[in-house]
């Protein structure tokens, strides 16, 4: 908390009566105010007018209003609150019972926010005055309030003046019949200009993007439907104090971030573990509530059980079952000389964790939980070495989430080594986030090594080299362990650790893979379950009903078996034919709702539920085959987007299958508007497209290496539930492929069945079936959803013509849908996706996993995942609308950079080195005194801490650390000087001269800013320069100043930014650089300020220039002494007037005695995450190849213009493998054939630089030699 925040917090916390805060407060200050409001009990009126509070601040204040019980008057007039903030305030109004006056005048609230507030006042009975004048409300908002006023009878005054209501909206408000509420100046409305009306067409997309970025991380309330609460008993704190002998040190079991854990015995004699939440931890109470709420919702044998809790006067304790064998991490470390875990125990631990996590994600029918701190420290072992997942303090919940969706947090917490790229870089959480952490746990179980990307790299090399047995923990006898078992688990671990979330397996499929490997320690019940599952998968021709008596298992044990793998294998009840005859009124013709060559379908009621009964024709071989195929397919899995088979009957030649009834019929019927049906809306069509892809991705990946092919995917076989969610049906033609998943693999059949218009060329002409066969059918379905027309080659041709001639699909879109601009843009994106699915060669079609990502990218509208064709973007580039959207996306990109900066700060928090050193250096004196005596302090640090020592020939386990302070590293730079012919003093100029040159650092001259300061353009002595003004408020500002000054004074090079002079006065530090008129490489790749794209020769020249500059700083010093940049990125590569590249920003530089066989370790890891090499990120190891990794990412950016991220590396590897580099390249320039060949080589070179093994990366010398020959 900053000093300003602390001041505000104390002021608000202690305020009473009326408080006026109108001093240009922003979101950061609002966060402090909100926290204070949660504990204040005397404040009645709060005025926050004329500030800079946006959605984030409003959301925080809304959370406070949910718990504050004294405020009656709140005004937040003239701020920057949008729909996201208004929606949060609306949620607060639904529960707040004291607020009577709320003013949100002069903000940026639109119809979405208005609708939310209108819904809130339908239930709020306290609010009497509500002001929303001078916002962005339109007729939709007016209509929402009109409906609310028909219900609300307590609101006395509503001010909606000076919005954008037309006569229609005004009349709706006047005709509510509400005689209580006075409408203030309702007729006084504004009129939008033509330009504004054009922009409104994009409001949906823009608002969605704004909400995505601005949304505050908050916990989603747990829904309790279908999951009975298990109340956790509360016990007196005195009981726990007595049980632990007043929390004596000799009862301490361990300690975590939120407090210690004690061993104790309750008065009942039961041994327990008591977690005492730290009174000093801000997160203590948050964790306490999270664990209490979460663990009260469910019980599972592989989740730690909470027995009771205590809460009294700021003390919070949780009481758990005692786990005598400690954590998995402790056992792998052999803590207290415990014997090593056996291979069988490790197997069972893996399966137990997967079961526990599968339950966590599926226990609630309509929302999913994320653990977010899954690691070996949080997996505990009971007396029988059964594993139990613990520590749910960081848990998050989200509604209606499946593998395609995510939620985002700006508060990324957890353990870095277990975080997937999506969570670490952008705060995105999906159902596959915890799977990544599980993959790391698997590698730890195999190796006993510490987690991290290095362990992942070692495992990948072992798999490639078929040496996985060598990874095995040395405490185990390799001869006693089956090699294939080790290989299987390591391979599974790497699948879980895939950079692409969509390509990671689900916990359900993980269980299927792990259980067979653990057969030696399974209980009788679990063995039987595996046998049942094997039968279900291998043969649909055998009778599938297995009873408890047949297996000789207690019914409770069998129940546990079924819930272990509910989404993968399941028993299907068998009923008598008489039961189904009665359910359908003896298969009455009046109940017949469909039919075909296989037989007829009837509606009926079974077990109190409406069902569809498919009665297979007794004389139809197709019917028999379909019966067997469907039964086998549906026995394999359950999924919300696959129609559920409820039961079946088989007597003689009679066969029936019973499905859930889909009340809205088939997609084809809906598109045809059969029987006068209402046309599907655009939102419904989007949902249907995603639902189908989700289902098909599942059937192809649920059982690894054994995908299922539908082979009759069409709109007739996609059915719609009551809420219009789609479910794939009719698995009668399914085929499965044993142990082959490569896109080039196929099976061949002589029997070609299905609907001709949906069959791909390979299947139709050659009988070849692969995982891309159903993708072709899906592409045709997409075109049907967009156009409403019948499927076929003609439809595909019409869509191609429209896109070619107009760049958009408008001429072919279904006329029964109202298409706004955002919808049209999205539809065009889907049309391009559909055509990709309809490619002649199956290899060129996307997988369903890729389709889901593209659908998600199009829906979120984020640059990183946008799939709209560049031709369409060009067509829109001249319009005001596109400019508006592009401007917003640029703002979003800036927000993404801010998130990346936050992640960097998280890394810095791994060590409080600078703070500790500062305290040590100043010996308790004030910062100002320290600065004034800086020279003496530096000398003291130098004497105390010594010099850098490299670690040679011990790359894997270096013992020395970079334990120096940041100040001492400056002395290292001074000692490691090159020859005197290179060193050149940097002139010092007066600060007054720089103040004059920048007009007192006026914002008009600001050309950039970073974490530690700002950069201004100025003219000095007739020369155009860039002046970096380092922040006077941070120690790091001074460190950067000294680091850059001493680094850049040592050498001159045409590819390194030139430092011209510096100024230093009191607390002000300035560096004067040569001016670089063409900005940064990142800005040019982003086409900032509409600059033209970089040409091929310019990109190639930039690559050569950066490599030359980096080679120089690694060799300019005397032999063996190198400089490490550690913050090399496209933002820090600047371009002069001739587009020559110059490396800049030497603020994080390190100097040490290193060669290519040695390394140095630091505990202070700083930089930008996507550019960090694995060894630096995981362990703080710095080598001469650390900057080479960053250079590899720069190469990929130059080729693609994409933002840096691990996914970019994966995409490049895929493009090289499948020879599709041309699709990866920046679409802003069109390379010649020769340039394309060179680009392919540069992408391959980038991947060499990005090798996870530092020793395998090329040197900068080798890179220059390679680049100049290409």
The binding site consists of: 614, 1028
Indicate the SS3 state at residue 142: helix
Return the number of other C-beta atoms located less than 10 Å from residue 1230's C-beta: 12
Cα–Cα distance for residue pair 292/349, rounded to 1 Å: 25
**Region of residue 201 (phi > 0: left; psi between -120 and 50: alpha; otherwise: beta):** alpha
| Tokens at 420, concatenated | 């997937």
To the query of whether residue 373 is one of the catalytic residues in this protein, the response is yes
Residues in the chain, overall count: 1270
* C-alpha count within 13 angstroms, C-beta hemisphere, residue 1117: 24
Is 1198 within 8 Å of 1102 (Cβ atoms)?
yes
Is 1131 within 8 Å of 1086 (Cβ atoms)?
no
Is 970 within 8 Å of 1173 (Cβ atoms)?
no
| Tokens at 459, concatenated | 């495992």
Token pair 């959301």: residue: 59
* C-alpha count within 13 angstroms, C-beta hemisphere, residue 323: 30
CA geometry: angle 475, 476, 480, nearest 5 deg: 160
Which residues have CB under 8 Å from 1050's CB, separation 6+?
973, 977, 978, 982, 983, 1116, 1117
| Tokens at 1180, concatenated | 């703080």
DSSP bridge partners of 1028? 1015, 1071
Indicate the SS3 state at residue 538: helix
In order of 141, 161, 319, the CA distances from 86 in angstroms are: 12, 17, 40
User: Which element (helix H / strand E) includes 577?
Assistant: helix 577-583
Burial class from Cβ neighbours inside 10 Å (0-12, 13-18, 19+) for residue 259 reads buried
> Residues 55, 105, 111, 373: which is the catalytic one?
373
| Tokens at 464, concatenated | 């490639």
Burial class from Cβ neighbours inside 10 Å (0-12, 13-18, 19+) for residue 552 reads exposed
Annotated binding site for ATP: 614, 1028
Cα–Cα distance for residue pair 1266/1104, rounded to 1 Å: 9
Which residues have CB under 8 Å from 858's CB, separation 6+?
826, 829, 830, 833, 865, 866, 867, 868
Instruction: Enumerate the H helices of 933-1012 as residue ranges.
Output: 934-945, 966-975, 991-997
Is 661 within 8 Å of 610 (Cβ atoms)?
yes
| Tokens at 623, concatenated | 């019917």
| Tokens at 69, concatenated | 């019980």
In order of 116, 653, 958, 1158, 1251, the CA distances from 951 in angstroms are: 61, 78, 6, 6, 22
User: Looking at the annotation, which residues are catalytic?
Assistant: 373
């Amino acid at each position: 908390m900053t000093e300003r925040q602390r001041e505000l917090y104390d002021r608000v916390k202690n305020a009473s009566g009326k408080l006026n805060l109108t001093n240009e407060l922003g979101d950061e200050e609002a966060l402090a105010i909100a926290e204070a409001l949660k504990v204040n009990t005397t404040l009645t009126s709060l005025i926050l007018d004329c500030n800079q509070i946006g959605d984030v601040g409003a959301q925080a204040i809304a959370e406070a209003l949910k718990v504050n019980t004294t405020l009656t008057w709140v005004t937040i007039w003239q701020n920057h609150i949008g729909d996201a903030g208004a929606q949060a305030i609306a949620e607060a109004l639904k529960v707040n019972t004291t607020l009577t006056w709320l003013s949100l005048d002069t903000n940026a609230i639109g119809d979405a926010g208005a609708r939310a507030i209108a819904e809130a006042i339908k239930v709020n009975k306290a609010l009497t005055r509500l002001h929303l004048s001078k916002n962005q409300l339109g007729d939709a908002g007016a209509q929402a309030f009109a409906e609310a006023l028909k219900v609300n009878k307590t609101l006395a005054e509503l001010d909606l003046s000076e919005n954008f209501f037309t006569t229609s909206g005004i009349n709706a408000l006047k005709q509510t019949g509400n005689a209580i509420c006075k409408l203030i100046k309702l007729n006084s409305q504004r009129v939008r200009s033509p330009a504004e009306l054009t922009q409104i067409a994009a409001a949906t997309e823009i608002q969605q993007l704004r909400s995505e970025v601005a949304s505050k991380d908050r916990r989603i309330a747990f829904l309790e439907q279908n999951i009975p609460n298990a109340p956790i008993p509360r016990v007196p704190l005195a009981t726990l104090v007595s049980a632990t002998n007043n929390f004596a040190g000799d009862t301490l079991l361990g300690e975590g971030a939120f407090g210690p854990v004690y061993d104790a015995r309750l008065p009942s004699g039961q041994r327990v573990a008591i977690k005492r939440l730290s009174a000093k931890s801000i997160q203590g109470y948050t964790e306490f509530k999270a664990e209490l709420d979460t663990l009260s919702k469910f019980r599972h044998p592989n989740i730690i059980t909470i027995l009771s809790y205590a809460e009294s006067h700021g003390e919070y304790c949780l009481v758990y079952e005692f786990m005598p064998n400690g954590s998995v991490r402790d056992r792998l470390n052999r803590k207290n000389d415990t014997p090593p875990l056996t291979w069988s125990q490790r197997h069972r631990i893996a399966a137990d964790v997967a079961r526990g996590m599968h339950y966590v994600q599926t226990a609630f029918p309509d929302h999913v939980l994320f653990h977010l701190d899954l690691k070996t420290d949080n997996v505990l072992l009971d007396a029988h070495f059964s594993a139990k997942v613990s520590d749910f303090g960081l848990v998050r919940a989200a509604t209606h989430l499946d593998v395609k969706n995510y939620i985002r947090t700006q508060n990324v917490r957890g353990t870095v080594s277990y975080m997937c790229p999506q969570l670490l870089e952008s705060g995105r959480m999906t159902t596959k986030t915890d799977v990544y952490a599980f993959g790391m746990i698997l590698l730890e179980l195999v190796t006993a090594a510490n987690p991290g990307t290095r362990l992942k790299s070692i495992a990948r090399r072992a798999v490639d080299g078929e040496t996985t047995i060598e990874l095995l923990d040395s405490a185990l006898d390799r001869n006693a362990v089956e090699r294939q078992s080790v290989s299987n688990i390591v391979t599974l671990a790497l699948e879980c650790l895939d950079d692409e979330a969509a390509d990671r397996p689900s916990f359900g499929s993980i269980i299927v893979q792990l259980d067979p490997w653990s057969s030696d320690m399974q209980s009788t019940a679990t063995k039987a379950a595996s046998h049942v599952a094997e039968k279900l998968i291998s043969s649909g021709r055998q009778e599938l009903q297995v009873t408890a008596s047949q297996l000789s298992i207690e019914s409770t044990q069998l129940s546990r078996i079924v819930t272990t793998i509910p989404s993968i294998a399941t028993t299907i009840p068998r009923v008598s034919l008489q039961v189904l005859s009665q359910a359908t009124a003896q298969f009455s013709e009046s109940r017949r709702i469909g039919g075909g060559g296989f037989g007829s379908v009837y509606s009926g009621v079974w077990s109190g539920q409406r069902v569809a009964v498919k009665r297979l024709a007794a004389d139809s071989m197709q019917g028999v085959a379909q019966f067997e195929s469907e039964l086998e397919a549906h026995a394999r899995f359950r999924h919300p987007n696959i129609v559920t088979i409820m039961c079946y009957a088989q007597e003689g030649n009679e066969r029936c299958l019973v499905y859930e009834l889909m009340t809205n019929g088939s997609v084809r019927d809906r598109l045809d508007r059969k029987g006068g049906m209402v046309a599907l809306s655009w939102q419904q069509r989007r949902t249907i497209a995603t639902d189908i892809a989700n289902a098909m991705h599942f059937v192809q990946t649920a059982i690894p290496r054994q995908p299922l092919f539908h082979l009759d995917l069409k709109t007739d076989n996609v059915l719609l539930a009551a809420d219009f969610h789609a479910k794939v049906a009719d698995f009668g033609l399914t085929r499965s492929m044993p142990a082959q998943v490569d896109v080039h693999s196929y099976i061949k059949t002589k029997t070609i069945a299905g609907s001709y218009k949906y069959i791909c060329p390979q299947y139709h002409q050659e009988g070849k079936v692969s995982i891309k066969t159903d993708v072709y059918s899906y592409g045709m379905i997409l075109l049907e959803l967009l156009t409403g027309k019948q499927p076929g080659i003609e439809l595909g041709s019409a869509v191609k013509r429209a896109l070619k001639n107009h760049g958009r699909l408008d001429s072919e879109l279904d006329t029964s849908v109202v298409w706004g601009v955002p919808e049209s843009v999205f539809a065009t994106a889907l049309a391009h996706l559909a055509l990709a699915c309809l490619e002649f060669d199956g290899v060129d079609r996307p997988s369903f996993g890729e389709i889901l990502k593209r659908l998600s990218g199009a829906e979120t509208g984020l640059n990183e995942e946008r799939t709209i064709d560049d031709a369409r973007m060009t067509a829109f580039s001249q319009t005001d609308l596109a400019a508006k959207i592009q401007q917003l996306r640029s703002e979003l990109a800036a927000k993404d950079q801010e998130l990346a900066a936050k992640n960097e700060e998280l890394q810095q928090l791994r060590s409080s080195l600078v703070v500790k050193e500062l305290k040590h250096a100043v010996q308790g004196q004030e910062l100002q005194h320290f600065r004034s005596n800086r020279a003496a302090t530096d000398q003291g640090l130098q004497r105390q801490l010594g010099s850098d020592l490299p670690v040679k020939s011990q790359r894997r386990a270096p013992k020395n650390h970079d334990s120096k302070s940041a100040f001492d590293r400056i002395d290292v730079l001074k000692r490691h000087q090159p020859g005197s012919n290179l060193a050149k003093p940097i002139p010092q100029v007066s600060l007054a001269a720089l103040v004059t040159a920048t007009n007192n650092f006026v914002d008009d001259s600001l050309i950039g800013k970073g974490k530690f300061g700002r950069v201004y353009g100025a003219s000095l002595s007739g020369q155009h320069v860039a002046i970096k003004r380092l922040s006077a408020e941070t120690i790091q500002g001074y460190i950067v100043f000294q680091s850059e000054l001493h680094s850049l004074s040592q050498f001159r090079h045409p590819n390194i930014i030139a430092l011209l002079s510096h100024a230093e006065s009191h607390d002000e530090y300035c560096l004067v650089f040569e001016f670089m008129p063409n900005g940064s490489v990142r800005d040019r790749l982003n086409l900032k300020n509409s600059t033209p794209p970089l040409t091929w020769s310019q990109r190639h020249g930039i690559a050569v220039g950066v490599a030359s500059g980096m080679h120089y700083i690694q060799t300019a010093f005397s032999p063996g002494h190198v400089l490490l940049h550690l913050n090399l990125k496209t933002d820090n590569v600047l371009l002069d007037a001739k587009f020559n590249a110059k490396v800049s920003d030497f603020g994080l530089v390190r100097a040490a005695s290193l060669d290519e066989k040695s390394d140095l370790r630091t505990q202070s890891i700083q930089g930008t995450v996507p550019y960090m090499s694995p060894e630096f990120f995981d362990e703080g190891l710095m080598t001469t190849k650390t900057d080479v990794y960053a250079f590899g990412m720069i190469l990929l950016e130059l080729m693609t213009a994409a933002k840096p991220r691990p996914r970019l590396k994966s995409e490049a590897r895929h493009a090289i493998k499948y020879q599709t580099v041309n699709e990866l390249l920046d679409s802003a320039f069109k390379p010649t054939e020769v340039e394309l060949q060179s680009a392919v080589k540069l992408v391959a070179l980038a991947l060499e630089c990005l090798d996870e093994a530092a020793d395998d990366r090329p040197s900068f010398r080798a890179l220059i030699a390679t680049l100049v020959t290409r």
